[in-house]
Amino acid sequence: MSILTNLPLVAIGLIRARQNDKSDHRSACLSIFVILMLCFPAQAFGQQRSSKDQGYFYRLRAEFEVKATAEKVNFDYVVACNIRLTRWRDGGLSDDSTYSPRVMFAATSNGPVVMLRTLQACHGLTSEYPDVPADVLPLAVWFDSPEDLSVGVGYVSEDAYDNSLGKLRFHGARVDRATREEWEAWRKAAADTYVQIGTIPGPWGYDFPVPRGPFASDRGKYVTGCQGYMKLKLPDDMRPRLAALQPADRSRFWVLATSEERLKIGAVIDDPRQPYPPGIGGWVRRFGTPANSASSGLPIRSGRVVEPSLRPNGSRSKHVANRWPAENYASLATPLISISPVRVAAFPPAKTYERKLEYRDGALNGLISCQNLLDAYGYRMRESDTSWRDKSHVFKVDEYVVKQLNNRTPELDVPAYVVEGDEAVFLAYNIIF
């Protein structure tokens, strides 16, 4: 029976317990109040003014091509938004919107699989208006086999599709309004024609379980995000200030202590006086991050992002380019040791756990690693290797050991900034699906 059904008995029990402890009745009443606050939502106490559920639907299309075979891989599906807006008596407004599917999968004819991350357009943004740029770029992930969707390669820039090591071409994407009837028709058609291939999770894409964490039901089965580093080449007048921070050993790749890197390196690259690329604020903030790919799209050469164009007077604005792309490289966690080709080492390692920026002198630009939750955040290490604290934990750039990581919390000690001489800075980011 629920605590709500037995609430009077719970209250009486608390009062008696307080009396037995010779406490006053105010403590008992306070306990009852806490139970009421936990058991009933705020509107039960008159705090909610109005709440409205309103479904919204849109169609997402994206076209890809496998370079090796010229096979077309097309996505065309309807996204359902459950938009719940709650207005509170104090004037606040909460937006509890959700959307589904978060990702969709498409198998190629010879085995590999492409996953598309859904652009979040639940608030009416479409390609019909300037909301969604014509060159919008959603995030795609390539898997070598449908039998293993736990590690893949993310395509996070136009450079990824131009890269000779990339396996895909991109031919565009768009967002259009849809109706509930179109959503229902899409779901029926998808189910009717669906054939199970490998571990692809059904005809309607995938929504990652909530709550997320080490005990999530998908655990190590599917990628739960992508990890990478943006590389920013420094303006000439910024280089001496960064060189002044470089350690005495003058290594090609270097880092500062975790407690110092944001205050020192971050301060140098946030210079608002830089004229290029154009934009407002500090220099580093003018570059878009792939971490915002669901809401804004990936950073693109035109500098545009997905954002509302509707003005209060009903007219439409033309967006000013203000978020620019950077080079992007993979951030790997044991047991992943390479993304081109994808190679996974035996687990657990005999001596050393590695976190690695896979750079290869720019050869992998645009391609980053996408891993499952267990490996990306070290849960498998803690669950499967009783001696993990006794082993070495290092951060590398390719084969250069750049930092010895704290062996108790190595994930928290991975550098947020990695510097190449005085020429460029790599900034870490994490894409969470």
Task: Dig out the tokens for 421 from the structure.
Answer: 């001489």
pTM of the entire structure? 0.84
- ∠ CA 285-290-294 to the nearest 5 degrees? 115
What is the distance between the alpha carbons of residues 402 and 400, in angstroms, rounded to a whole number? 6
Sequential pLDDT tens for the chain (433 residues): 444 444 444 444 444 444 444 444 444 444 444 444 444 444 444 455 555 556 899 999 999 999 999 999 999 999 999 855 555 655 555 555 589 999 999 999 999 999 999 999 998 999 999 999 999 999 999 999 999 999 999 999 999 999 999 999 999 999 999 999 999 999 999 999 999 999 999 999 999 876 666 666 677 899 999 999 999 999 999 999 999 999 998 899 999 999 999 999 999 999 999 999 999 899 999 999 999 999 999 999 999 999 998 888 888 888 789 899 999 999 999 999 999 999 999 999 999 999 999 999 999 999 999 999 999 999 999 999 999 999 999 999 999 999 999 999 999 999 999 999 999 999 999 999 9
What is the distance between the alpha carbons of residues 297 and 125, in angstroms, rounded to a whole number? 12
Q: Please provide residue 384's backbone torsions phi and psi, each rounded to the nearest 5 degrees.
A: -110, -10
Q: What does 323-362 look like in DSSP terms, one character per residue?
A: -B--EEEEEEETTEEEETTEEE--SS-SSEEEEEEE-GGG
What is the distance between the alpha carbons of residues 99 and 82, in angstroms, rounded to a whole number? 6
Closest CA to 57 of 180, 222, 186: 180
